[in-house]
């Protein structure tokens, strides 16, 4: 009787200890099988950057904002939304807003892009294009938000752009302001590697364009004008001129004389002019206008 009592007295705690040990092992196996403990809700970190191009931009030209959103994890971010407050309507006109990761829309001066879910280490890009209206400085701010993002300090980005007036642009090339000028005699005029304005005068001249995008103005004689590697503009004069394209996409324009216009390897545009000069395309995809 004494031994049975002792065994029952100490056997119950032993059985409880073994049961607790088995329960602990079972819980550990269940956690390991499920992949470990899951992260707490909201464990995602979104950041946003913004660039502008070009900067500076000429008044009246398009300005492109590129917004990049990155999820630094560790979990996916759901219901990701980018909001961009455009400059005032007096400063810019909206052109477009696109994103391959979702859809964008404009309401008032605010662009909103719904990017859906962004995976851990994933990125999404939003592209917004506006047209500038006058010179000055533009400031544009974009933000990103998600209910899973617990780090809002890096959720805002700003781009500042300088808009210059049209008067600050280089003057348009004109025959009235040549960089190379012939003489009253018969000349051979050759352009440089840069962008030239070549003006022939009274003789029967031969003009050869250089490497840039040149403007060539034939004189009152019967001139030969040959374009070079750049996209040149050749304009005939009062005489019977021969205008030949080069390797670039050239513009050949006859005037009062019965000119000969010949395209070459580039995609040229040939206009016969008032003298109804003869036109013949070359190897490129040429366009012929006012040519008999």
Alpha-helical regions (H) of 41-97: none
User: 161 — phi, psi (to 5°)?
Assistant: -125, 140
Quote the tokens at residue 266.
């580039």
DSSP 191: -
- Cα(221)–Cα(25) distance, integer angstroms: 104
Quote the tokens at residue 1.
């009787």
| Residues 68, 74, 79, 81, Cα dihedral to 10° | -20
In angstroms and rounded to an integer, the radius of gyration of the C-alpha atoms of the chain is: 37
Tell me, what's the pLDDT at 33? Answer: 43
Q: Output the 3-class SS for 119-155.
A: CCCCEEEEEEEEEECCCEEEEEEEEEECCCECCHHHC
Tell me, what's the pLDDT at 277? Answer: 67
Tell me, what's the pLDDT at 220? Answer: 87
With b meaning 16 or more CB within 10 Å and e meaning fewer, what string describes 161-176?
Answer: bebeeeeeeeeebeee
- Cα(164)–Cα(184) distance, integer angstroms: 42
Residue 26 CB contacts under 8 Å (≥ 6 apart), including other chains: none
Sheet arrangement for strand 92-98: 46-53, 62-71, 123-132, 92-98
Tell me, what's the pLDDT at 272? Answer: 76
Task: Please report, in tens digits, the pLDDT of each residue of the chain (292 residues total).
Answer: 445 444 444 455 555 455 555 555 555 455 444 444 444 556 899 999 999 999 989 999 999 999 999 999 999 999 999 999 999 999 999 999 999 889 999 999 999 999 999 999 999 999 999 999 999 999 999 999 999 998 999 999 999 999 998 765 556 788 888 999 989 999 999 989 888 899 998 889 999 988 788 899 988 889 899 888 778 888 888 888 888 888 878 888 888 778 888 888 778 787 877 756 688 877 777 777 777 6
Quote the tokens at residue 178.
């040549």
Tell me, what's the pLDDT at 37? Answer: 40
- The pTM of this model reads 0.48
C-beta atoms surrounding 218 within 10 Å: 31
Tell me, what's the pLDDT at 279? Answer: 85
């Amino acid at each position: 009787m004494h031994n049975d009592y002792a065994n029952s007295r100490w056997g119950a705690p032993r059985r409880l200890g073994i049961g607790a040990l088995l329960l602990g092992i079972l819980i550990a196996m269940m956690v390991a099988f499920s992949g470990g403990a899951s992260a707490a809700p909201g464990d995602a970190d979104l950041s946003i950057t913004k660039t502008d191009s070009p900067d500076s931009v000429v008044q009246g030209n398009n300005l492109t904002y590129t917004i990049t959103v990155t999820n630094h994890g560790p979990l996916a971010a759901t219901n990701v939304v980018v909001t961009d407050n455009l400059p005032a309507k007096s400063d810019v006109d909206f052109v477009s807003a696109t994103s391959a990761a979702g859809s964008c829309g404009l309401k008032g001066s605010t662009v909103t892009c719904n990017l859906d879910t962004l995976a851990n280490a994933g990125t999404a890009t939003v592209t917004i294009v506006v047209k500038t209206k006058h010179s000055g400085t533009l400031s544009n701010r974009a933000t990103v938000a998600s209910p899973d993002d617990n780090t809002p300090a890096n959720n805002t980005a700003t781009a500042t752009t300088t808009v210059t007036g049209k008067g600050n642009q280089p003057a348009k090339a004109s025959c009235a302001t040549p960089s190379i000028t012939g003489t009253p005699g018969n000349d051979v005029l050759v352009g440089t590697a840069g962008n030239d304005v070549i003006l022939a005068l009274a003789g029967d001249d031969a003009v050869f364009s250089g490497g840039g995008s040149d403007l060539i103005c034939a004189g009152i004689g019967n001139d030969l004008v040959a374009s070079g590697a750049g996209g040149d503009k050749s304009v005939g004069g009062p005489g019977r001129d021969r205008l030949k394209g080069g390797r670039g996409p050239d513009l050949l324009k006859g005037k009062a004389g019965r000119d000969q216009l010949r395209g070459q390897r580039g995609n040229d545009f040939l206009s016969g002019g008032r003298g109804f000069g003869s036109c013949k395309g070359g190897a490129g995809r040429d366009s012929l206008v006012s040519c008999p």
